[in-house]
Structure 1
């Protein structure tokens, strides 16, 4: 049965999608069967991973048979997954996935907060994607979900499907505020809708590791989330990360390999943290 992980922050541009795709890429290289589910209509994770597929297999011409939104309307996500590299598949998103909330409203109805049916109908909406995902859970070891950087049915649906939440924290005030808001919303989902997940950690993305603001934000995060929940491995400001948006994830030169070596460590720590909750033991990798 797959372990399902969603990376969250309500502030855009903090590296959430990069960390989702790179962690999935590295966990797949460790021999685990992985799936990335792109629930963001901007489809940035899809773009990066399709470019990764093309970079690793340039002779293979790729085209979509159907979009994720089409599969949702057909009530089945099976046979949608696109192989990217060995052990790594993708459920690709497209701009039409912006219609997902409208789809839920049409399927389950529209109710205002305070309506007697509000809680039950909202729960049906935010657990529906997990029902669609369930048949795929036996096929993978890890499922990574990428979501938009905003509170919505999409993010709530991802949380309700997840076993673990990774909070991505860029060391600036707005990202910190976004992470704190995520924490509040996670508490509400756990209390009001019985969401069953663990926060496996906070992954810092440093603006400038020597800057006073970075250290200030990290200190505040440690106070709010707990020092033990802050990842030991932190993501420095690396220009090559931005290049992967254009090239896909590649390992062609020393700059690429420096990023890959870092995410090898980050993904190992991620697995170790998850194993702590799963089995009460650490990973020796």
Structure 2
């Protein structure tokens, strides 16, 4: 059974795209067949996987709005993940889809013929709660919320959780909320730990472990068009590899996901 994971947070700068790219590469290293889908008009995921969005003739936009078959748009990447790329055209997709019935199901329909080819499909939702994010959540089996370990970083979490609940009620009753993934984490500060405790307490949201540490390697990797897993060992790569192993165990081995032990429950 193919697993479809949406990575969503309407706040930008929370390492959402880094999470999609690095988790995808880590899953490939575990012999999973992985497809990543870029739903962000800025095309950051597309760029970080080595493709220039400005030079692409077609993208997920054509699949969602013009009926182009997803297979015609697929790109290979050096990390071994397949990519459905984004271009700036996606900025107009909401307006095009708005006039169509069943607009929230466009991505689910587009991915249907590809599901047999992949073990895992990861959707990089844009930093908004518009029609593209609704499409991502409607197409997914589960959703992961990357969360920056800083004060105010979780101000939009309640809004996102409301959107998830509405999607569960209306377009995707089987959508499961995996939890929050702490990113840009600095273990040396009690502040980072306090933010995690607050999120866990306030929203009753599982906070997944391991937290993803803040590392300069992420910026270097996206600038070079490869993920953080390429090249020398680093803590960021190790954290994503551990998360990938956990997800494989959870999806196909019936294991529980490890959660961050907050001081509240200690």
Once residues 86 and 215 of structure 1 are traced to their aligned partners in structure 2, the CA distance between those partners, rounded to angstroms, is 32
User: How far did 1:238 drift?
Assistant: 0.7
- Residue 85 of structure 1, CA deviation: 3.7
Q: Distance in 1 between matches of 2:217 and 2:152?
A: 24
CA distance in 1, matches of 2:182, 2:150: 10
Distance 1:224 1:216 in 2: 12
How many residues are treated as equivalent by the alignment?
Answer: 252
1:19-38, aligned counterparts within 5 Å?
Answer: 19-38=19-38
SS of residue in 2 equivalent to 1:174: coil
Which of 235, 248, 256 aligns to 1:271? It is: 248
| Contact 1:148–1:154, Cα closer than 8 Å, also in 2 | yes
Quick check: 1:43 aligned with 2:43? Answer: yes
- Given candidates 117, 123, 126, the residue that maps to 1:148 is 126
The correspondence for 1:78, drawn from 59, 67, 71, is 71
What CA distance in whole angstroms lies between the structure 1 residues aligned with 2:196 and 2:256? 25
State how far apart, in whole Å, the 2-side matches of 1:188 and 1:71 are.
25
The structural deviation recorded for 1:65 is 4.7
Are 2:76 and 1:97 aligned? no
Larger Rg: 1
Contact 2:61/2:90, CA 8 A, preserved across alignment: yes
Q: Matches of residues 134-283 of structure 1 in structure 2 within 5 Å?
A: 134-226=112-204, 229-247=206-224, 248-249=226-227, 251-254=230-233, 257-275=234-252, 280-281=254-255
Q: Name the SS of the counterpart of 1:177 in structure 2.
A: coil
TM-score normalised by the chain length of structure 1 = 0.81
> Is residue 201–residue 273 contact of structure 1 (8 Å, CA) maintained in 2?
no
Q: CA deviation at 1:164?
A: 0.8
Deviation string for 1:41-69 (max 9, x for gaps)?
00000000126xx9xxxxxxxx6452222
Gaps spanning 5+ residues in structure 1: where? 55-62, 109-120
How far apart in 2 are the matches of 1:177 and 1:82? Answer: 36
Q: What secondary structure, in the 3-state scheme, does the structure 2 residue paired with 1:50 have?
A: coil
Cα distance 1:237–1:65, how it changes in 2: closer, same or farther (>3 A)?
same
For 2:162 and 2:150, how far apart are their aligned partners in 1? 19
Aligned to 1:18: 18
C-alpha displacement of 1:194: 4.0
Q: In the superposition, relative to structure 1, how do residues 66 and 206 fare at CA in structure 2: closer, same or farther (>3 Å)? A: closer
Q: CA RMSD in A?
A: 2.3
